[in-house]
A and B are shown apart, each in its own frame.
Chain A
Amino acid sequence: MSTTRIAFSAEQLAEIRRLQALYPERRAALLPVLHMAQDTFGHVSLEVEEYVAGLFDLSPAHVHEVVTFYTLYFREPKGRHVVAVCHNLSCHLAGAPRILDHVKQRLSVEVGETTDDGRVTLLSVECLCACEHAPMMQVDDRYEFDLTPEKVDRILELLR
């Protein structure tokens, strides 16, 4: 695997300065900047944490503490797509365990794993607050509603 150089572009650095200036304290822009970092570098490695810490004059330990607290930051490389099946109560009542088993079988992965071709990372997550469309899952930025095994197949097929 090739190593990406950990550095934002000049435009991105300008955007970070803009974000930092939106808040009474620069540090408040840390979560948004970590989202940017993940979008740019694929995941938030220790190197990325150190780089971002430098942009805020924060200790790498502080950034590490933040990154490890939240579920949306990936510390290891993830697939090109992330499929997150909701397993909370309303989805459970609507058959989420069956949907999750189906996705596992189709992708030949367990929860937390990425397919061998790097296409999809599978997660099982807490309530995404779309219980009226249970069972549901999040695929990258999108919510997918009212899942059936057939619908899941159609969705997975479109992920390249």
Chain B
Amino acid sequence: MSGERLLTRNFDRADSHTLKAYRETGGYAAWAHAQMMEPAAITEEVKRSNLRGLGGAGFPTGTKWSFIPKNHAGPVYLVINADEGEPGTFKDRYLLERDPHALIEGMLIAARAIRSDTAFVYIRGEYVHPWRRFSAAVQEAVEAGYLGRGLDVVVHRGAGAYICGEETGLISSLEGMKGWPKLKPPFPAIKGAFGQPTIVNNVETICHLPHIINRGAEWFAGLGTETQGGTRMYSVSGRVKRPGVYEASVAITLRQLIEDQAGGVTGNGRLKAVVPGGSSAAILRADEIDVTMDVDGLRNAGTMAGSAGVIVMDETVSIPEALMVVARFYDHESCGQCTPCRESTGWIHKMTRRIVEGRGRKEDLDTILDVSRRGVGTTICAFYDGAVGPYISYIEKFRDEFEALIPR
């Protein structure tokens, strides 16, 4: 496994956000090279690199790009999802603040591949400092002639809504509406922002592109597993000695990440459970952490890589209380469009709360499981399917803890 840092290589430099620092470390060389490549060749290279979306869904990036209709006469848009909001995730904040030019160079490459001349960068409203940093970098890139000569970048601030991280909710919000997800098909690549073919990619995904162009698809693919290339940034928080962002191969195991990178478990020092991919990922027990962190590795373990937000819980943590906190989040953030999600997230929040407060009813646990399972796949977007990840797994894996709180 390569220990080389790609995305975070400049983070230790105090001036890493400046054009000067980015150029000194080889920045914009990949763009110079990509300008000599045919758009289709860039897409092909990214396909062969096995780069997969790092925002949550893990979809192969090059394949996504190839869905743009070849004969489309009108504009094509590139939209960058910087609406980081998955609980337990904080990597894109680092990239926006500490290496904004990597994102800009990646956008130039992606925009060439999909033949787009306008890109929108949607940054969550709370990220004021990252928004200022990134906007300043865009200004620098315009003045240096990288932007504004074939690609215009519009930096757009959100206004506080988790659902806008869902790509069609993001598009609705970008269009000046409430952030309601849209029914698919049509997928954004066919009919996205402003009715035009649109590619929505996560910040971290795009920041990988200069490295792929510089060093080749085979090299990048070789850093990971058979089905996913490269490194990624793991956000590790909760009960660990050194919470923080760690870049490592997608083939690292969850145990290595917790023990070697984050310094091991705090609290009483004994691991109880881990959320491996942001709060929408199913929880893993302490005996389930010898699993690789790539998309397929975690899928085979019954959970998901998601946004790689790793939340660690030691034995002293109450799982029912953790689920109540998570359930409050999904209740608050459900956009209200689809009945199963709007109603169930509210019910389940109430039920988890009364269980924690000692007022639970004997049938509550089975009701939560039933309501969860019935709702999966019945809604417009993946939000409810994500909420169900914790509802079901916390109860199934730690049922005793819940039952102990329910009066007999």
- Min C-beta distance of B119 to chain A, whole Å: 12
> Judging by beta carbons under 8 Å apart, are A138 and B178 in contact?
no
| Known contacts A126-B329, A141-B128, A142-B129; A131 and B178 CB within 8 A of each other | no
Please state if A127 and B87 are interface contacts (CB–CB under 8 Å).
yes
Q: A127 CA to B84 CA in the complex, in Å?
A: 10
Question: Which of B9-17, B103-111, B151-159, B369-377 lies at the binding interface?
Answer: B151-159
Set of chain B residues within 8 Å of A72, measured between Cβ atoms: 125-126, 159-160
Number of B residues with CB within 8 Å of any CB on chain A? 56
Supposing A23-B154, A70-B125, A130-B93 touch, asked if A92 and B85 sit within 8 A by C-beta, the answer is no
A38 to chain B: closest residue by CB: B159
CA distance A123 to B332 in the complex (A): 14
Q: Which A residues lie within 8 Å of B86 (CB)?
A: 127, 129
Interfacial residues of chain A within 8-53, with CB under 8 A of chain B in the complex: 22-25, 27-32, 34-35
Of B183-191, B212-220, B236-244, B249-257, which binds chain A? B236-244
Within 8 A of B (CB), among A80-111: 87-90, 92-94
Residues of chain B lying within 8 A (CB to CB) of residue A23: 154, 194
Interface residues of A in 109-132 (CB under 8 A from B): 126-132
Digitize B226-241: 1 where CB-to-A-CB distance is under 8 Å, 0 elsewhere. Answer: 0000000001111100
A66 to B125 CA separation, bound complex (whole angstroms): 14
Q: How many pairs of residues, A versus B, come closer than 8 Å at their CB atoms?
A: 142
A22 nearest CB neighbor, chain B only = B154
For the complex, is B142 an interface residue (Cβ under 8 Å from A)?
no
Contact B173 A31 (CB under 8 A): yes
Indicate whether B88 reaches chain A with its CB closer than 8 angstroms. yes
With the chains together, A126 CA to B126 CA distance in Å? Answer: 11
B292 interface residue per 8 A CB criterion: no
Q: Taking the complex as formed, is B358 at the interface, i.e. its CB lies under 8 A from any CB of chain A?
A: no
Assess the A93–B238 pair: CB atoms within 8 A. Answer: yes
Are A70 and B159 also in contact (CB < 8 A) when A93-B311, A131-B88 are? yes
The reply to whether A28 and B161 contact each other, CB–CB distance below 8 Å, is: no
CA distance A70 to B88 in the complex (A): 21
Q: How far is the CB of B178 from chain A (nearest CB, A)?
A: 4
Residues from chain A with a CB closer than 8 A to the CB of B124 are 129
B8: CB under 8 A from chain A?
A: no
A152 touches B (CB below 8 Å): no
Please give me the residue from chain B that is nearest to A146 by CB atom. B243
- The answer for the CA separation of A131 and B92 in the assembled complex, in Å, is 13
Given contacts A28-B175, A134-B243, contact A70 B160 (CB under 8 A): yes
Contact of A65 with B178 in the complex, beta carbons under 8 Å: yes
Residues in chain A near residue B239, CB distance under 8 A: 93
Least CB distance, A84 to chain B, in whole angstroms: 8
Per-residue CB contact flags for chain B residues 178-219 toward chain A (1 = under 8 Å, else 0) read 110000000000000010100000000000000000000000
Q: Is the CB of A143 within 8 A of B156?
A: no
B87: nearest chain-A partner, CB-CB: A127
Contact residues in A for B364 (Cβ distance below 8 Å): none
CB distance from A156 to the nearest CB of B (A): 20
Q: Does B295 contact A (CB under 8 A)?
A: no
In the complex, whether A71 has a CB less than 8 A from a CB of chain B is yes
Q: Which of chain A's residues have a CB closer than 8 A to the CB of B322?
A: 89, 92-93
A69-B179, A72-B125, A127-B329 known; A90 and B237 CB under 8 Å? yes
Ordered by A's residue number, 24 sampled pairs between the chains whose C-beta atoms are within 8 Å are A23-B194, A24-B75, A25-B175, A25-B176, A31-B156, A31-B157, A56-B176, A65-B178, A69-B335, A71-B160, A72-B126, A73-B160, A88-B325, A89-B88, A89-B279, A89-B329, A94-B238, A127-B85, A127-B86, A127-B279, A129-B84, A129-B86, A131-B90, A131-B243
7 tightest A-B contacts by CB? A71-B160, A131-B237, A70-B159, A69-B178, A27-B176, A30-B176, A72-B160
Known A-B contacts: A89-B279, A132-B245, A141-B128. Give 9 more (CB < 8 A): A23-B154, A31-B156, A35-B125, A70-B158, A89-B322, A126-B329, A127-B85, A131-B90, A131-B235
